[in-house]
């Protein structure tokens, strides 16, 4: 499928896709602004319950009549909870909870995988596009989406993962380069072996599947480089976090805009799964104490009270501030302007 053919099927004018930004930074306002500007706005709904997914899509539909994408985590949660000992993590978090004025940390039961129920809600909500990360879908699930006219995008961090996704019938592969902010989508390789630079990944995957490039794309020159390497479009996360429509807290926003160099690291500290974000005190506290980190997604559940309180109190040292390696080139402007600027710059 050619680049213009994929854009036509996605129903968008410009090769700009807002990355799904799950967990709060993404909002209906941000997604709608990108769609209204001729890009594709995505909603990262992986942390929401089925009814919340329907509500979030409804709020976005009220703000735009253009196509939107909805994104879920399709894997990563073990079917049988692994063995773990939470005592070291509880002890680390106890001191932080005391500092934040929170009660002593408690360890909830190992979370179950919400994907099946969430997927039903997505089928009901019928977004124009469905994207996923952390795994591959069953080909029957891809067919169910296609039967409803929904375009399907899967995320790969290696060429092998892209082949697995292509074999299930996805319409395009999101090539998530090593530069990317947020969780690594890796599902068929050790994480350390799946840190391929974005342009490398795009060039190789473009040989056998339509590609959307992701990772470190901050301006129009980056968009152009991705397209010249064979991508049909660019999926952009970090650059949109500084837009007024994003849900990023004041402390997170300030940390993004004051980054002068790449101060990101890949860490399992917040969720138990490798993700790229701005280095801060909590990440440093766990360096050399990785054995205390609980398996994904339990670690995400036990650090949630800390992250929520830190966000309210403006304490950047205990927030997960996901960001890609281009963070120092963040620009604060309304999302519509950013889309226009990305397009203009890419054509210069």
Ligand X SMILES: Cc1cc2nc3c(=O)[nH]c(=O)nc-3n(C[C@H](O)[C@H](O)[C@H](O)COP(=O)(O)O)c2cc1C
Contact call for residue 322 and ligand X (CB under 6 A): yes
287-290 long-range contacts, Cβ below 8 Å, gap at least 24?
289/88, 289/92
For residues 27-66, which are near ligand X according to CB under 6 A?
44, 46
Residues in CB range of 299: below 8 A, 6 or more apart: 89, 268, 269, 270, 271, 272, 293
Residues in CB range of 165: below 8 A, 6 or more apart: 136, 154, 155, 156, 173, 209
Contact call for residue 155 and ligand X (CB under 6 A): yes
Q: Minimum Å distance from CB 27 to ligand X?
A: 12
Minimum CB distance to ligand X smaller for 44 or for 295: 44
Q: Minimum Å distance from CB 101 to ligand X?
A: 26
- Cβ proximity of 196 and 157 under 8 Å: yes
Q: How far apart are CA 8 and CA 19, in angstroms?
A: 19
C-alpha separations of 262 from 34, 63, 179, 241, 259 in Å: 26, 35, 10, 16, 7
Query: Among 10, 18, 21, 269, which residue sits at the site for ligand X (rule: CB under 6 A)?
Result: 21
Task: Choose the stretch contacting ligand X; rule: CB under 6 A; options: 32-40, 118-126, 304-312, 316-324.
Answer: 316-324
**Number of Cβ within a 10 Å radius of residue 301:** 18
Query: Among 6, 34, 37, 236, which residue sits at the site for ligand X (rule: CB under 6 A)?
Result: 236
Contact call for residue 259 and ligand X (CB under 6 A): no
Query: Among 22, 76, 114, 274, which residue sits at the site for ligand X (rule: CB under 6 A)?
Result: 22
Q: Minimum Å distance from CB 246 to ligand X?
A: 9
C-alpha separations of 271 from 172, 216, 283 in Å: 28, 22, 11
Contact call for residue 176 and ligand X (CB under 6 A): yes
Q: How far apart are CA 221 and CA 164, in angstroms?
A: 30
Contact call for residue 242 and ligand X (CB under 6 A): no
Contact call for residue 215 and ligand X (CB under 6 A): yes
C-alpha separations of 3 from 26, 73, 218 in Å: 26, 26, 20
Contact call for residue 201 and ligand X (CB under 6 A): no
Q: Minimum Å distance from CB 83 to ligand X?
A: 28
Contact call for residue 25 and ligand X (CB under 6 A): yes
**Number of Cβ within a 10 Å radius of residue 291:** 9
3-class secondary-structure state, position 114: coil
Q: How far apart are CA 48 and CA 33, in angstroms?
A: 21
Q: Minimum Å distance from CB 251 to ligand X?
A: 14
User: Site size for ligand X, by CB under 6 A?
Assistant: 27
Query: Among 324, 338, 342, 343, which residue sits at the site for ligand X (rule: CB under 6 A)?
Result: 324
Task: Choose the stretch contacting ligand X; rule: CB under 6 A; options: 156-164, 188-196, 199-207, 215-223.
Answer: 215-223
By CB under 6 A, name the binding residues for ligand X: 19-22, 25, 44, 46, 71, 133, 155, 176, 179-182, 214-217, 235-238, 322-324, 326
């Amino acid at each position: 499928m050619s680049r213009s053919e994929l854009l036509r099927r996605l129903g968008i004018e410009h090769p700009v896709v807002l990355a799904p930004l799950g967990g709060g930074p993404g909002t209906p306002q941000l997604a709608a602004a990108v769609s209204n500007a001729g890009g594709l706005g995505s909603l990262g709904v992986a942390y929401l319950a089925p009814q919340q997914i329907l509500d979030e899509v409804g709020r976005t539909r009220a703000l735009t009549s253009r196509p939107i994408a909805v994104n879920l985590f399709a894997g990563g949660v073990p079917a049988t909870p692994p063995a773990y000992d939470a005592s070291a993590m509880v002890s680390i978090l106890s001191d932080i909870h005391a500092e934040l004025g929170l009660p002593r940390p408690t360890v909830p039961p190992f979370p179950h995988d919400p994907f099946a129920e969430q997927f039903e809600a997505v089928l009901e909500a019928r977004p124009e596009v469905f994207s996923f990360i952390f795994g591959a879908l069953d080909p029957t699930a891809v067919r169910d989406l296609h039967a409803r006219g929904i375009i399907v995008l899967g995320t790969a961090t290696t060429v092998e993962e892209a082949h697995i996704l292509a074999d299930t019938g996805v319409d395009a592969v999101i090539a998530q380069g090593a530069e990317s902010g947020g969780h690594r989508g890796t599902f068929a390789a050790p994480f350390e072996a799946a840190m391929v630079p974005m342009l490398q990944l795009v060039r190789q995957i473009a040989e056998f599947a339509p590609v959307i490039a992701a990772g470190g794309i901050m301006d129009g020159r980056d968009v152009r480089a991705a397209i010249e390497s064979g991508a049909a479009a660019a999926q952009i996360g970090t650059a949109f976090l500084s837009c007024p429509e994003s849900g990023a807290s004041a402390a997170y926003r300030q940390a993004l805009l004051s980054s002068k160099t790449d101060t990101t690291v890949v860490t399992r500290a917040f969720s138990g799964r490798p993700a790229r974000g701005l280095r801060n005190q909590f990440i440093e506290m766990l360096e050399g104490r990785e054995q205390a980190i609980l398996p994904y997604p339990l670690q995400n559940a036990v650090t949630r009270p800390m992250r929520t309180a830190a966000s309210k109190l403006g304490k950047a040292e205990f927030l997960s501030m996901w960001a890609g390696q281009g963070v120092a080139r963040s620009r604060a402007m309304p999302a519509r302007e950013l889309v226009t600027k990305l397009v203009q710059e890419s054509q210069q």
